[in-house]
Amino acid sequence: MNRDAMLQALTTRSEPWDILVIGGGATGLGIAVDAAARGYRTALVEQNDFAKGTSSRSTKLIHGGVRYLQQGNVGLVLEALRERGLLTQNAPHLVNHLSFIVPNYTWWEAPFYGVGLKIYDLLAGKLGLGPSEHLSREETLRRLPTLEPNGLKGGTIYYDGQFDDARLAICLAQTAADSGAVLINYMPVVSLVKKNDLVRGVAVKELESGQEHELNARVVVNATGVFSDSVRRMDEADAEPMIAPSQGIHLVLDKSFLPGDSAVMVPKTDDGRVLFAIPWHGRVLIGTTDTPVSEAQLEPRPLPEEIEFLLTHAARYLTKDPKPGDVLSAFAGLRPLRKMGEMKDTASLPRDHSVSISKSGLVSISGGKWTTYRKMAEDAVNQAALVAGLAERPCPTANLRLHGWRNGEGKPRPARGAGEVWEGYGTDAAFLQALIKEHPGLNELLHPKLPYRGAEVVWAVRHEMARTVEDVLSRRTRALLLDARASVAIARKVARLAAKELGRDPKWEAEQVESFRELAAGYVLG
Ligand code: FAD
């Protein structure tokens, strides 16, 4: 993907686009993949970087959601388990399977969770990743040597999918582009274009040049997550809010807090939340929280009480108690939950999605999860095609292999460690290796504590539309999430490599380093 070519294609087209998507997160990118794969002329505009919003800040699970089963939402679990199976087949380079252990500290937990997880296995059917089983106390501690042994009776093991959310977002952008879609980042929609009271396009601002453009379309799809009410208000000034944003945070710790390949899943903490401790890219991810917030923003910050909650609960289940100084990175995201009348808390709001169509034909999709992005896209494109009067074409994405697909069998892979992040590039890894062969200096690790090399920076800028140091360190690589301090230490090197690719001057480099330093300060505790 090349941004200049995308910009050219987007702004020089005189015919209207069949489908124009606002928002480059999981939902919008999934819609672009679907619409382009059906052969519709598709464009997508993102106000910041792809996956800058919620879609780079998830727990990184492709899961049915054991919690939703507890809530009795069998339909959502069934749908998500099917999607989990499909994504595992269509993007085996980006999804791995992971074992989760529910520790049992009271006599009733083993049969209770054992039965629940057997139902989970049954719902997954032949797309299951492995049968759940009861584990003895010894086996539980063998797999989770740092689990709190006091009072431990045993455990229940089950399997789910794990992925790298921002990398999957880039992979979706590439898949859409492979099918002819035009996608661009750093281009916010500032208003909707209406003709005869019908939405017929958008006005956008290209942030690098400051230029404004009008893009015409047969239908516009609003896939802006927690921002969707603001786009709906561009259509109807008094539109009732549909979204109840809920913040969830994660803390990233060193692997020594949870060595081994299994994750810990605590189905119910004191206040009824689910707690995960998950191995991810050679670190441990602890999450999450569910805090209602009133305002949608792109860079939410973890609240002191959320940090306290996670540290206290992690200490309860792990032998080594994490302290604020142990946290390598802390990040927050906002769930775009669908509003349901007067609510007590956001934890009980549904996680399914809905598509709505305004009087002027703006199609808005809200709710959902990363796991179900494909089904959400299918539903949204079906509706959008109707609104636009496009020829009906079947959705091909259930079996559409995503960009970089390899590993012929489409079998889930075991969890990967820190050194194996290259696998996420799929078939593109060969091009990165060729780049290194040409410039051996690009094979050097950027930092001893991070698994990333110079070649990835060059690749991200040349082929993945990274435009800033933050794009590279936060989403093309996950350096900011794996170790915020280490990521700051390499910002200058990254700025130099990116500047060379983008033809930018030393002033740009210095500004980039400074703004990344400011951003990263929000990911460090204390
Ligand atoms: P976003 O990713 O926020 O994308 C919307 C995009 O629209 C943004 O990039 C924004 O910049 C852009 N935009 C807004 N306004 C404009 C405009 N005017 N012009 C152009 N662009 C605009 N799901 C799972 O399946 N598994 C999990 O493990 C999981 N864990 C989660 C943990 C947390 C803490 C959270 C918060 C969510 C989690 N989810 C999980 C849910 C999942 O992450 C979200 O459902 C999904 O990422 C939402 O994607 P989206 O595209 O709708 O929103």
In the chain, what are the domain boundaries? 3-54+167-242+348-399, 95-162+244-347, 423-521
User: Which residue, among 203, 195, 201, has the nearest Cα to 216 in the 3D structure?
Assistant: 201
CA of 165 to the centre of ligand 1 (A): 10
AA identity, residue 25 = G
* 493 touches 454 (CB < 8 A): yes
Beta strands in 327-372 (DSSP E): 329-338, 353-357, 363-367
423-521 and 3-54+167-242+348-399 share a CATH fold: no
Q: Does domain 3-54+167-242+348-399 have CATH number 3.20.20.70?
A: no
Q: b/e per residue, 206-220, with b = 16+ CB within 10 A?
A: beeeeeeeebbbbbb
pLDDT at res. 127: 79
CA of 475 to the centre of ligand 1 (A): 14
| Cα separations in angstroms, 308 against 60, 271, 322, 345, 436 | 22, 14, 11, 19, 44
Q: Which of 172, 175, 166, 251 is nearest to 421 (CA)?
A: 166
Amino acid at 66: V
Q: What six digits make up the tokens of 478?
A: 């996950």
Q: With residue 306 as reference, give the H or E element that holds it.
A: helix 304-317
DSSP label at residue 453: B
The answer to whether 193 touches 177, Cβ cutoff 8 Å, is no
Q: Which CATH class is domain 95-162+244-347?
A: alpha beta
Per-residue pLDDT of the chain (526 residues; tens, 9 = 90+): 999 999 999 999 989 999 999 999 999 999 999 999 999 999 999 999 999 999 999 999 999 877 777 777 778 888 899 999 999 999 999 999 899 999 999 877 777 777 888 888 888 887 788 888 999 999 999 999 999 999 999 999 999 999 999 999 999 999 999 999 999 999 999 999 999 999 999 999 999 999 999 999 999 999 999 999 999 999 999 999 999 999 999 999 999 999 989 999 998 887 678 899 999 999 999 999 999 999 999 999 999 999 999 999 999 999 999 999 999 999 999 999 888 655 455 555 556 788 999 999 999 999 999 999 999 999 999 999 999 999 999 999 999 999 999 865 444 455 444 445 567 899 999 999 999 999 999 999 999 999 999 999 999 999 999 999 999 999 999 999 999 999 999 999 999 999 999 999 999 999 999 999 999 999 999 7
Tokens of 492: 């200058």
Atom 12 in ligand 1: residue holding the nearest Cα: 23
Structure tokens at 305: 């009480």
CB 100 within 8 A of CB 157: yes
- Distance (Å, whole) CA 68 – CA 252: 25
Instruction: Among 58, 353, 365, say which to mutate for ligand 1: greatest number of ligand atoms within 8 Å of CB.
Output: 58
Look up tokens 């179900």; give the residue: 372
Place of tokens 């973890």: 302
Ligand 1 pocket test, pick from 369, 374, 471 with the greatest ligand atom count within 8 Å of Cβ, gives 369
Beta strands 363-367 and 212-222: pairing type?
A: parallel
Contact between 172 and 181 under an 8 Å Cβ cutoff? The reply is no
Which atom in ligand 1 lies closest to the alpha carbon of residue 335? 36
Q: Which of 320, 309, 308 is nearest to 259 (CA)?
A: 320
With 0-12 CB in 10 A as exposed, 13-18 as middle and 19+ as buried, what is 59? buried
N residues, the chain? 526
Q: For residue 428, which of 166, 91, 58 has the smallest C-alpha distance? A: 91
Which residues 6+ apart lie within 8 Å of 167 measured at CB?
A: 94, 424, 476, 478
Q: How far, in Å, CA of 451 to CA of 418, rounded? A: 6
Residue 110 Ramachandran class (φ > 0 left, ψ -120 to 50 alpha, else beta): alpha
Ligand 1 geometric centre to CA of 164 (Å):
14
Report residue 208: phi and psi, to 5°: -75, -35
- Count of beta carbons in the 10 Å neighbourhood of residue 315: 14
Gap from CA of 212 to ligand 1 centroid (Å): 26
Nearest atom in ligand 1 to the alpha carbon of residue 367 is: 45
CA distance 263 to 211: 48
Q: Does domain 423-521 have CATH number 3.30.70.360?
A: no
For residue 458, with 0-12 CB atoms within 10 Å meaning exposed, 13-18 middle and 19 or more buried, which class applies?
buried
Among 251, 370, 470, which is best to mutate for testing ligand 1, by the most ligand atoms less than 8 A from CB? 370
Which of ligand 1's atoms lies nearest the C-alpha of 50? 9
Compute CA distances 402 → 168, 245, 256, 397, whole Å.
Answer: 9, 30, 34, 9
- Give me the pLDDT at residue 117, please: 84
Beta bridge partners of 135: 155
Q: Whose alpha carbon is nearest atom 34 of ligand 1?
A: 248
Are 470 and 518 in contact by the 8 Å Cβ rule? The answer is no
Print the SS3 string covering 12-70: HCCCCEEEEEECCCHHHHHHHHHHHHCCCCEEEECCCCCCCCHHHCCCCEECCCHHHHH
pLDDT of residue 410: 45
- DSSP element (H, E) containing 220: strand 212-222
Instruction: Note the pLDDT tens digit of each residue in 27-74.
Output: 999 999 999 999 999 999 999 999 999 999 999 999 987 777 777 777
First-to-final CA distance of the chain = 39
Interval between CA 368 and ligand 1 midpoint (Å): 9
Which amino acid makes up residue 500? K
Answer for the pair 384, 363: CB distance below 8 angstroms, yes or no: yes
Q: What is the pLDDT of residue 203?
A: 98
- Residue 333 CA: nearest ligand 1 atom is 36
* Paired residues of 333 in beta bridges: 248
Report the alpha-carbon distance of residue 150 to residue 72 in Å, rounded. 32
Cα-to-centroid distance, 206 and ligand 1 (Å): 22
Say which amino acid occupies 53: G
Q: What local confidence, expressed as pLDDT, does residue 119 receive? A: 83
Which of 66, 88, 224 maximizes ligand 1 atoms within 8 Å of its Cβ, making it the mutation to test the pocket? 224
- Beta strand 198-205 with 189-195 is antiparallel
